[in-house]
Structures are given as C-alpha cells and as structure tokens.
C-alpha cells in the first residue's frame, strides 16, 4: 500500500524518514530505499541524501520481498520494452491495488515516462509490452488485436481434455464484484485452444485469443469444465504450484515503424514443466 507524505520544510530524504514517526524500524526504512519503494514527486529514488523541499510529496510503497527480482527483459529498442512479467506482480498500479507494479519497475529502469499498451492479470506471468513514447502507444492501441495477431498462452487445466483443439465463443459480463461470467449478452469473447500434453490429472493447452476480454481465458476454461489449476475463483479444486497456472507464452506484434511481424516468447515456468512435462515444447 502506498503512503504519501507532504514535506513542510527543507530536509534530506533519509533524515526525514527516520524522524517522521513511521511504523518502520531504521533497517526497514533503509530496505525500502534500497528496493526502489520510495519516490519523491512520483520519481523513484534510492538516494539517501536526496534533498527535500516544502510541498514535495514523498511516497512509500510497501516492499514485497517476493518481487525482489531483476527486471527480466526479453527485448528492447527505441520504441518498446518487452518483459517477462513474474507471477503475483501487477501490470500497472490501480486505485484499489496500490502496490508496486511492472509499470513501476519499467519506469524506474528507463528513468523516463513509460506508456501502457496492454495488461496481464496480476497472477498471470509472461510477455508484457510497454511503449517508450506516446506515438508508439497510440499505434498499438489503435486496434491492438490486428497489431498483435498472435497472443498465445500456456494454461494448465484440471482434468484430461480429450479434444485435440477447439474454439470457445461466448459473451462475457462482469459483476460488481469483478467476477466475469458467460451470458446471453455482454461482450463477445473468442478463444482457440490446442491440447499439448495430458496426464491423469492435468492438461496443458495452448490458448490463443481472438478477442481480449478481462479474465477471458479463465472463464472459458471454466466453461469447458476444465478450470485452470490454482484458479479457485473460477472453480479449480487444486493448486499444486501455489499460483495460477496461466502464462503469456508468445506475442507476435507488428513493428510500429516497418510493420514487420516481431515474435516475443517468455519461457514456460519450470513449475509448469514439473506438473506436466513441457520442457521440450517449442
């Protein structure tokens, strides 16, 4: 959770934090600084002696040691940055979830503004693309589905899927509690799947999106009566790897300059391999 403090007089950052009657020990405050959890006027800093002026806003974000991992960069050029987002990390901060996000890490890495193109659910890992400028963001947001014609996920679902492939089409609605469900009305959602591996308890599917609705794959797998492992929200009974078994494996996008297709792949998590043996999948 973020905590904001408005500075009343000149000071230095560490001195202010140590004397601000915060519910943290000295070592905890130093840890927050070390792990990029302190910002001055929206800019993250690790500088202990950073100067503070009256009306400056100091923001503290609660540090989660599970997220203490280097930014896993898949690709970078002058227009985009592509990362392999870990599980349990928000794509972007929200009003209701003010914890640190992939957006914060990328912004800190680039040290200049970053622009959101698309999102992954917090508990979905894999390919996530950010724009480095407004022009690139606008290019992709103008019909993202055509600019990214291949958005494929690995989903480990409960039970043995007998179909080799299939398509799921429904209309999705969202309740006030953010629960998404198929109904007779709502926004059309289309997912295609291919069965990659099966065993007695689980099946590995390659799921490709034709549309991109909130929780689309999770709802469609539940509609198939094969919920994603670890997805208790949508009916899963098991959680063998202590996470949602959904990974954004491959994204193909058009280059914003020459419009040639670029392919980005985030390796399948080792925990998925242990569940169903995907180490040789390409």
In this structure, the answer to whether residues 122 and 188 fall within a common structural domain is no
Residue 110 structural domain: 66-147
Tell me if 252 is assigned to some domain: no
pTM of the model: 0.75
Bigger pLDDT: 247 vs 67: 247
- Quickly tell me which residue has 């999948």 as its tokens: 281
Q: Is 20 exposed, middle or buried (0-12, 13-18, 19+ CB in 10 A)?
A: middle
Residues 6+ away with beta carbon under 8 Å from 96:
none
Look at residue 67 in the predicted model and tell me its pLDDT: 46
Residue 195 has pLDDT above 90, yes or no: yes
d(CA 93, CA 99): 7
- Quickly tell me which residue has 């590995």 as its tokens: 204
Please provide residue 184's backbone torsions phi and psi, each rounded to the nearest 5 degrees: -80, -15
* Structural contact between residues 40 and 54, judged by C-beta atoms closer than 8 angstroms: no
d(CA 66, CA 252): 29
Q: Torsion-angle region of residue 263: left (phi > 0), alpha (psi -120 to 50) or beta?
A: beta
In 3D, which of 196, 205, 67 has the Cα closest to residue 123? 67
DSSP sequence for 53-70 = -TT-EEEEE---GGG-S-
What CATH number corresponds to the domain at position 226? 3.30.2350.10
84-124 pLDDT per residue, tens: 999 988 999 877 656 778 998 888 778 788 999 999 999 99
Active-site residues, by number, are 121
In this structure, the answer to whether residues 40 and 82 fall within a common structural domain is no
In this structure, the answer to whether residues 100 and 54 fall within a common structural domain is no
Look at residue 172 in the predicted model and tell me its pLDDT: 96
In this structure, the answer to whether residues 57 and 111 fall within a common structural domain is no
Taking residues 235-245, what's their average pLDDT?
A: 96
In this structure, the answer to whether residues 157 and 86 fall within a common structural domain is no
Task: Give, in degrees to the nearest 5, the angle at Cα 184 between 160 and 214.
Answer: 65
Cα dist. 144→131, 136, 208, 252, 255 in Å? 13, 12, 14, 11, 12
Look at residue 118 in the predicted model and tell me its pLDDT: 97
Task: Give, in degrees to the nearest 5, the angle at Cα 246 between 241 and 251.
Answer: 140
Please provide residue 91's backbone torsions phi and psi, each rounded to the nearest 5 degrees: -70, -50
Bigger pLDDT: 72 vs 67: 72
Residue 1 has pLDDT above 60, yes or no: no
In 3D, which of 241, 235, 279, 219 has the Cα closest to residue 87? 241
* Structural contact between residues 195 and 203, judged by C-beta atoms closer than 8 angstroms: yes
Q: How many domains does the chain have?
A: 3
């Amino acid at each position: 959770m973020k905590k904001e403090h408005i500075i009343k007089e000149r000071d230095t950052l560490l001195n202010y934090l140590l004397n601000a009657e915060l519910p943290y020990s000295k070592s905890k405050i130093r840890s927050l600084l070390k792990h990029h959890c302190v910002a001055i006027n929206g800019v993250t800093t690790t500088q202990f002696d950073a100067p503070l002026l009256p009306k400056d806003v100091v923001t503290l974000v609660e540090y989660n040691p599970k997220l203490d991992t280097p930014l896993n960069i898949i690709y970078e050029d002058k227009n985009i940055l592509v990362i392999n987002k870990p599980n349990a990390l928000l794509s972007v901060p929200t009003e209701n979830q003010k914890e640190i996000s992939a957006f914060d890490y990328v912004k800190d890495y680039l040290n200049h503004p970053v622009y959101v193109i698309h999102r992954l659910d917090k508990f979905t890992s894999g390919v996530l693309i950010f724009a480095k400028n407004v022009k690139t963001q606008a290019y992709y947001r103008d019909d993202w589905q055509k600019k990214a014609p291949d958005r494929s996920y690995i989903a480990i679902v409960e039970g043995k899927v007998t179909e080799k492939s299939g398509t799921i089409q429904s209309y999705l609605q969202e309740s006030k509690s953010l629960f998404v469900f198929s109904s007779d009305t709502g926004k059309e959602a289309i997912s295609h799947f291919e069965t990659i591996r099966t065993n007695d308890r689980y099946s590995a599917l390659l799921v490709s999106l034709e549309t991109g609705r909130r929780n689309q794959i999770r709802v469609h797998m539940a509609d198939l009566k094969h919920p994603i492992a670890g997805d208790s929200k949508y009916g899963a009974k098991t959680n063998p790897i202590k996470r949602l078994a959904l990974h954004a494996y491959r994204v193909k996008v058009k280059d914003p300059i020459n419009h040639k297709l670029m392919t980005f792949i985030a390796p399948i998590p080792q925990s998925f391999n242990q569940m169903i043996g995907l180490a040789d999948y390409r």
